Structure 1
Amino acid sequence: MRTSISRFLIVPVVLLLAGVLPQHAQAQTTQKHFDQQLYNTILHMDSVCFDAFNARDMQRLKAVFADNVEFYHDLGGLTYYDETMKNFEKMFVQNKATGLKRALVKGSLEIYQIKDFGAIEVGVHKFTHVENGKEVVGLLKFLHVWQYKNNEWKITRVISYDH
């Protein structure tokens, strides 16, 4: 009798959990303290940064990064401002003919406020270029720490990963 009761109870519990867990997992992906104005601001700053990147405009690109930026790359290691800018310049020269472009993956962006400092931007971006006549697409993850200081938003930390 005990076995049949246990089986009788297991089926509803499993079905209940099957219905609850996907909702719980989905709820975890929603930001708890969403601030639309901050989201719009960082989304705008992301586009300022990567419009400059896509245009290979070093002056505009340099203006988005703080002088004390730390750029962490899972394959390339840690670089600071001067080396990071040199790496951008090298990348632009090496990819002059490839059409290297970056686009933010829609729906991937998350923004979190950092009290009395700025914001964290987390997302996925897509880099495309042409290699051997074929378009190559890379989806990569990133985290940017933005500081709001002297009425300007600047990136102070970059973590680029999942290459």
Structure 2
Amino acid sequence: MRKILVGLTLLCALSGIGAYGQTPPPKAGPGSPPPPTAAPAPKPATRDELYQTVARLDTEMFAAFNAHDVSKLMAYFADNVEFYHDKGGLSNFAQTQEGFARLFAQSPDITRTLVPGTLEVYPVKDYGAMHIATQRFCHVENGRNDCGNSKFVMVWQQQAGSWKITRVVSYDH
């Protein structure tokens, strides 16, 4: 996550956008009122419409995952998806589809749940939303429940009322 934040900061610096997209205020002279304080950093959307939309998409998409329905699951991904996985590397749409099919064949009881209280949703201007959370995968191995958490960032694009995932970063496995 630190690398993502550094990258976003660098991108803003290179594009000439200030911390809040503003130019610095003029210097105050004697007797001038103190300059206004900077607005606080934007907070994640909480219970607004965008949050509810992304929460619903997360629930629907992972219902398809838990049902091991590769076709329905892949309907949530854009044809040009880039899926970055800290252990598996970068994959495109076809490779992601093959990876899910292989995972379901190797672990027919694997399930995914969203860790409660971890969902964050941020708008992406003129594009869609960022979906950040921690997820928990479980399956039975050697007769015992084997579970592990990982983190992810998904970038959703909204086009003509449809939402598709264009980028996934899955890490901390």
Q: Deviations over 1:34-74 (max 9, x none)?
A: 26110000000011110000001122111100000000000
Q: Which whole-Å CA distance do the structure 2 matches of 1:62 and 1:137 have between them?
A: 24
The match for 2:54 among 36, 39, 42 is: 42
Runs of 4 or more above 4 Å deviation: none
The match for 1:32 among 40, 43, 61 is: 43
Q: Is the partner of 1:116 in helix, strand or coil? A: coil
Structure 1, unaligned runs of 5 or more: 1-27
The match for 1:81 among 93, 96, 111 is: 93
Q: Is the partner of 1:84 in helix, strand or coil? A: helix
The AA in structure 2 aligned to 1:38 is L
Q: Does 1:113 align with 2:120?
A: no
Q: Which whole-Å CA distance do the structure 2 matches of 1:138 and 1:46 have between them?
A: 18
Q: Select the structure of larger CA radius of gyration.
A: 1
Equivalences for residues 50-61 of structure 1 within 5 A? 50-61=62-73
Percent identical pairs in the alignment equals 47
Q: Which whole-Å CA distance do the structure 2 matches of 1:111 and 1:31 have between them?
A: 11
Q: Deviations over 1:86-107 (max 9, x none)?
A: 00000011112xx100000000
- CA shift, 1:151, in A, is 1.3
Contact 1:70-1:80 within 8 A present in 2 as well? yes
What is the TM-score when the length of structure 2 is the normalising length? 0.74
Q: Which whole-Å CA distance do the structure 1 matches of 2:59 and 2:145 have between them?
A: 23
Contact 1:111-1:120 within 8 A present in 2 as well? yes
Count of residue correspondences: 133
What does residue 4 of structure 2 align with?
none
Q: Does 1:126 align with 2:136?
A: yes
What does residue 153 of structure 1 align with?
163
Change beyond 3 A, Cα 1:44–1:133: same
Structure 2, unaligned runs of 5 or more: 1-39
